[in-house]
Structure 1
Amino acid sequence: MTFSESGSATTGTRDAIGEVADGARRYIASHPLMSLGTLGGQAVLAVRTVQCLFTDALARRFQFREFIQQAAFMASTAFVPTIFVTIPIGVTLAIQFSLLAGQVGATSLAGAATGLAVIRQGAPLVAAVLLAAAVGSAVCADLGSRTMREEIDAMTVMGVSPIHRLVVPRFAAVIIVGIALTGLTSFVGFLAGYTFNVYMQNGTPGSFVATFSSFATIGDLLLALAKAVVFGAIVAIVSCHKGLSTRGGPAGVANSVNAAVVESILLLMTVNVVMTQLYIIVFPKASF
């Protein structure tokens, strides 16, 4: 290799490294601002959606037909996957807690441990993740496609608010379906844990049910339902915001759906930890 060829190769390497460094600096400089803009837009959309929900309900302008259609579609989309995901999770929790109870000599408390794990943590999280993956992605894709076809702009020009017409019914439908899925997950999880403990691990049916009802209190069920409401609101707001802010054609719709699912799941996990810790702090006796 000659000196000129060596110098040109070195210069090309430096140019490539410089371009990578410039790209990294631009990403670091712009990404926090984009994140703050997204967070602010979602907060504004959440406030306006809740406000429009109450005003529409009081003024009797709520879009019941759209709400029924969306709720039926969401329920049919998430019902079967929720059951098939809940069963292995309930069985896994039953196995792990039964082994732990056997190691400490408290096999009779397997039902209590399964009840606390399923109702307080498992049911809301499973329902929320499936809500984000199945329902949230569908909502985001629907609104993203409408945005790309300029239907949202046309509605705005005609004086029809997209929040009143599209976001509010979906917001209410996601919350209702989230509550229903949480109840379904609690029942299926309990049934799976009971069946596996009694028929596969030779547990005592009466002991399982008695310890379950003793340790899994009404407060745990109320916590699960409260989580379902909050999780449903998060999924609805994130999915609607990503759909309405879609840019870039069909590829933009795919990117919006991916971003909506990822952001929803991250927020759900964070909010779940916060709500669980607050519940333990405020109601310490009910947490044991």
Structure 2
Amino acid sequence: MTPEPVVTGREEVSAVTEVVDRGREYVRRHPRAALETVGRQVIMGGQAIRHLIADIVSGRFPFGEFVHQAAFMVKTSYVPTVAVALPVSATLSIQFGLLAGQVGATSLAGAASGLAVIRQSAPLVTALLLAAAVGSAICADLGSRAIREEIDALEVMGVSALRRLVVPRLAAGILVAMALTGFSCFIGFLAGYLFNVYVQDGTPGSFMATFSSFATEGDLYLAMVKAAVFGTIVTVVACEKGLNAKGGPAGVANAVNATVVASIILLMVVNVGFTEMYTILFPRTTL
């Protein structure tokens, strides 16, 4: 039998020291790396929006690539959006219906569930699915091009990768996010109505009356603004991570993972900010 290796106390101490040193190095370098990444994303987002406006005005916008990317995004995300919007809306309807019944305000179930879907559920569900499905696909596409040095080849030939690759994806991401948010609002409202009427024994007239009494055009405007901002965040983060991917296929996989995580965190933070600002600026329209 082969004797088992004996680990001395000195080797254990050296291993612990190495782990501690690596932890300190990570803590020291991570904030700087995070700030650099955020800075690159902010700069890329500003330049992409500026080029988008300039190219549309000057007639140089690549509409063919835009249509192709928009079709790809819709094909990738519309089925998951519907599949997630239905159970989320049904869950909100059930919870608000139970809460309204406990406080004796069953007539407000329609308003509460409907507003929750329009203000929060629809834009957030759409954004999360865009980050998971579309953002990861964009990052994988651009990352694979980056490691094959196609991006460098474009720059050498005098073709701006930002205007050729990022700008049409940004426009498509904004448009698709807004369209899917509107579709998700309809699906969510329909699911809440059906559950309230046919499962919770609510009345159709009460549901529609309370919803129309509390819901305003500002709620839909808020959802559309959220969708445009969320689509911009997802697209810019995915493009920045993909264009800066390094280290071969493993680097692309790490970039895709970082895209999804960073996008979801940013979406949650921005959603909280939008909700608080809307509540402060328009207090009379809140429920």
Same fold at TM > 0.5: yes
Q: Give the Å deviation of 1:287.
A: 1.4
Assess if the C-alpha contact under 8 Å between 1:49 and 1:168 holds in 2: yes
Residue 258 of structure 2 aligns with an amino acid whose one-letter code is A
Residue in 2 aligned with 1:94? 93
Q: Give the Å deviation of 1:190.
A: 0.5
Output one character per residue of 1:126-182: Cα deviation in whole Å (capped at 9) or x when no partner.
Answer: 000001111111111111011111110000000000011000000000000000110
Residue in 2 aligned with 1:176? 175
Moved over 6 A (4+): none
d(CA) in 2 for partners of 1:94 and 1:275? Answer: 23
Output one character per residue of 1:46-89: Cα deviation in whole Å (capped at 9) or x when no partner.
Answer: 11101111111111100000000000010011011100101100
Output one character per residue of 1:226-261: Cα deviation in whole Å (capped at 9) or x when no partner.
Answer: 000000000010000000000010111111011001
Q: Which runs of 5+ in 1 are unaligned?
A: none
d(CA) in 2 for partners of 1:129 and 1:72? Answer: 19
d(CA) in 2 for partners of 1:236 and 1:38? Answer: 15
The answer as to 2:48 corresponding to 1:11 is no
Assess if the C-alpha contact under 8 Å between 1:115 and 1:215 holds in 2: no
Q: Give the Å deviation of 1:267.
A: 0.2
Q: Which runs of 5+ in 2 are unaligned?
A: none
Residue in 1 aligned with 2:218? 219
The answer as to 2:276 corresponding to 1:277 is yes
- State, as a whole percentage, how many aligned pairs show the same letter: 61
Residue in 2 aligned with 1:44? 43
Q: Give the Å deviation of 1:21.
A: 0.7
d(CA) in 1 for partners of 2:37 and 2:154? Answer: 23
d(CA) in 1 for partners of 2:70 and 2:56? Answer: 17
Give the secondary structure class of the aligned counterpart of 1:178. helix
The answer as to 2:116 corresponding to 1:117 is yes
Give the alignment's TM-score, normalised by structure 1.
0.97
Residue in 2 aligned with 1:54? 53
d(CA) in 1 for partners of 2:50 and 2:249? Answer: 32
Q: How many residues align?
A: 283
Give the alignment's TM-score, normalised by structure 2.
0.97
The answer as to 2:68 corresponding to 1:69 is yes
Residue in 2 aligned with 1:149? 148
d(CA) in 2 for partners of 1:210 and 1:148? Answer: 57
Residue 114 of structure 1 aligns with an amino acid whose one-letter code is S
d(CA) in 2 for partners of 1:115 and 1:59? Answer: 42
Q: Give the Å deviation of 1:221.
A: 0.6
Residue in 2 aligned with 1:82? 81
Assess if the C-alpha contact under 8 Å between 1:70 and 1:170 holds in 2: yes
d(CA) in 1 for partners of 2:57 and 2:122? Answer: 33
Give the secondary structure class of the aligned counterpart of 2:122. helix
Q: Give the root-mean-square deviation of aligned CA atoms.
A: 1.1
Assess if the C-alpha contact under 8 Å between 1:42 and 1:241 holds in 2: yes
Residue in 1 aligned with 2:185? 186
Q: Give the Å deviation of 1:9.
A: 1.3
d(CA) in 2 for partners of 1:215 and 1:237? Answer: 35
Q: Give the Å deviation of 1:214.
A: 1.1
Assess if the C-alpha contact under 8 Å between 1:141 and 1:243 holds in 2: yes
